[in-house]
Amino acid sequence: MFISQAMAATEEATGVFPPFDPASFASQLLWLIITFGAFYMIMSRVVIPRLSGILEVRSDRITRDLDETQRLKAEADAALAAYEHELAEAKKNAHSIAMESTEKAKAESAAAREKVESGLAEQMAEAEARIAGIKAKAMAEVGTIANETTSEIVKDLIGGKLTKAEVTKAVSSLVK
């Protein structure tokens, strides 16, 4: 309390604010230099090295992170390229499998069609042979029927009887 009363008394006596009093400039400058020097020493020896270390650690971490990012990006690009390559290979393989399956199905279809066609051709040949046999038999019987019919007609119309050789000769001359 005494100090504050003494300062108040000095202030009132001179009427000047103490920091602006020219009489105390020298002591104020001395303390300013001592304080500034101490502050500078603390800053330059303690604070700035710590800040520099922190900034260096952060810079190193950022550099490592960027390097790691580049590495991961390169791996991702390589994985993407491998994926696209595998996808292209899979599409090519799928296309070749589809073409193979199509060709196999065509071959099987052609073989089945050929088998059916050969079976039908055999049946046609058998049918034609039966028809030819039936036709030949019918044609052979036509002569006999014609001979019999002619003899019956002659017998009914003329009332006479012809020999088998005469009827055959007459029928064969008409057929030719």
- Angle among Cα 6, 10, 13 to the nearest 5 degrees reads 140
DSSP 14-82: H-S-GGG-GGGHHHHHHHHHHHHHHHHHHIIIIIHHHHHHHHHHHHHHHHHHHHHHHHHHHHHHHHHHH
> Average pLDDT for residues 109-137, to the nearest whole number?
89
Cα radius of gyration rounded to whole Å, the chain = 66
Confidence of residue 83 (pLDDT cuts 50, 70, 90): very high
Residue 116 or residue 163, greater confidence: 116
pTM: 0.40
Q: How confident is the model at residue 47 (pLDDT cuts 50, 70, 90)?
A: very high
What rounded mean pLDDT belongs to the chain?
A: 85
Q: Give the mean model confidence (pLDDT) for residues 8-28.
A: 75
Identify whether the C-beta of residue 57 lies closer than 8 Å to the C-beta of residue 48. Answer: no
